[in-house]
Amino acid sequence: GVLSSIVIALATNLATKMLVWIKRDIKKTKGVNATSIPELAAALMGGGGQAGANLLVILCQCGVCIAYNIFLGVSLTAIVEGLIPESHMRQAGYDPYVFFVVCQVLLFCLMVQIKDLASMGPLLIFAQFAMVVAVGIIIVHGLLTPSVCDRD
C-alpha cells in the first residue's frame, strides 16, 4: 500500500509538471494561453481533441464521485452498525448504506445549483472541517475495530 501510494504521488507530480511544460510550449509556439486540459487539447488537436478531452474529464470526475460515494456509504454504514450492533435494520429491510448514498447524491445535486460559491465561504470552511473530523472518526473506528473490513 505504501509503495503504491508513493508511485501514485510520483506519477501525479510528473503528470502535473508535463501539463505545465506543454502549456508553456503551446504559449511559446502557438501564442495560445490555455488554462485547462480541454483548451490544451484544442490547441494541439483542434475541436476533436477538445471534445475527447472533455469526455475524458467528465468520465474521470464521474468515476471519482462514484468511488467517493461508495467509500463514504460503506464507512458510515460500518460506523452506524457499530454504534447500534443489536439493531435489526437489515431484517426490517432498512439498509443504512442506501440512505447515506442517497443523501450524498442529493447533496451533490443541490450544490451544483449554487451560482455564487464565494458567498458560501463559511459553509465551505465548515464542510472542510467536518470532512477532516469524519475521516478522523473513520480512521480511528477502523483502527479500533479491525473486524469492520473482515466482514465482507
DSSP states along 77-130 = HHHHHHHSTT--TTTTT--HHHHHHHHHHHHHHHHHT-S-GGGGHHHHHHHHHH
- Give the pTM: 0.50
Query: Tell me: the pLDDT tens digits for 81-98?
Result: 776 666 565 566 566 667
Half-sphere exposure of 54 (CA within 13 A, CB side): 9
Q: Round the average pLDDT of the chain to a whole number and report it.
A: 78
Count CB neighbours of 129 within 10 A. Answer: 10
Task: Check pLDDT > 60 for residue 111.
Answer: yes
What pLDDT, on the 0 to 100 scale, is given for residue 103?
A: 76
